[in-house]
Amino acid sequence: MNCREIDELLESYIRDELDDTTASVVADHLEGCARCQAAYEDTRMLVGELIDLGEAFQPTEAWRAPAIAQHVARKRPVAGRGWVAVAAAFAVLSIVSATLLTIPALARQVPVLPVARAIAALERDAAALTKQVEELETRLAEIGGEELLLVETEPALDEVENRAAQEHAMEFVRAMYTGDIGALQALATDELAARIAARPDDYLRSGGVVFAQINNISEMEGAYWVFIRMSDTVEFTDSQFQLNISLKRSGDGFLVSAVEMDA
């Protein structure tokens, strides 16, 4: 069994609901896996912290190899008042766990619960992403005769070259919508020009184009990239998509080497 499968069996293992063969497999895995030992302790502690039924229920002792071996060998309890109390305890645990899943603030008060750790991790990730977004400055700018939102990421080029590359990419997009194959090929590398000649319908579009947003030029894997969000209609709408345009240097300027579409 792998660790994920063991995770799914831990509660039943602690409740002594597994058959002897499966329980033995779980015990063998726990004996040699520090990660699952910690998960076992978390689950055992959670049961003890959330369910306080006094003498009716006591959590299993702290993990150790001999204790687990004894746990496996123990016969399943005969249904009776004590076992009914244990079943009631776990019914309460199920209700509480479901509540914690729907009320994150409560889950945070029980740090041993796996969902509490997951919530904490997600909050850390969200905070990091929020910080990254806040570091991106967005403002209106006039580029290539168009006013659009400029996402000011850390530029890979100086201001003059950055603007030249942005305008070159926008000119390529305009040629796509005017159906000017010659202009497209002139703005592209030889390799892309050959692909345009072979499959022109892959690069030509109909209708008007409204530019919405552009970023500073970024450098990735030996190429310069610009991401342009736009709409196909002559009037601006919320139905936008993005073209990811790769450029390569050519003399004092740039040529488009690839075009990818994003939703």
Number of domains present in the structure of the chain: 2
Residue 34, amino acid: A
pLDDT of 26 higher than 70: yes
| 56 confidence band (pLDDT: 50, 70, 90) | very low
**Structural domain for 48, as ranges:** 3-130
How far apart (Å, rounded) are the C-alpha atoms in residues 206 and 192? Answer: 20
Look at residues 96, 130, 164 and tell me which one is the last residue of a structural domain: 130
Q: What average pLDDT score do residues 89-114 get?
A: 52
Domain match, 173 and 234 both: yes
Q: What is the mean pLDDT of the chain?
A: 76
Strand partners, 225: 218, 246
- Give 222-233 pLDDT, tens digit per residue: 899 999 998 876
Q: Kindly tell me the number of DSSP H helices and DSSP E strands found in the chain.
A: 10, 7
CA dihedral 146, 149, 151, 157 (to 10 degrees): 10
How far apart (Å, rounded) are the C-alpha atoms in residues 70 and 158? Answer: 71
For residue 236, what are its two tokens? 């601006």
Could you tell me where the DSSP H helices lie in 74-186? 81-102, 104-107, 114-135, 159-178, 181-186
Is 165:157 a contact under the CB 8 Å cutoff?
Answer: yes
Between strands 146-152 and 210-215, the pairing is: parallel
Look at residues 99, 130, 161 and tell me which one is the last residue of a structural domain: 130
Q: What average pLDDT score do residues 53-65 get?
A: 44
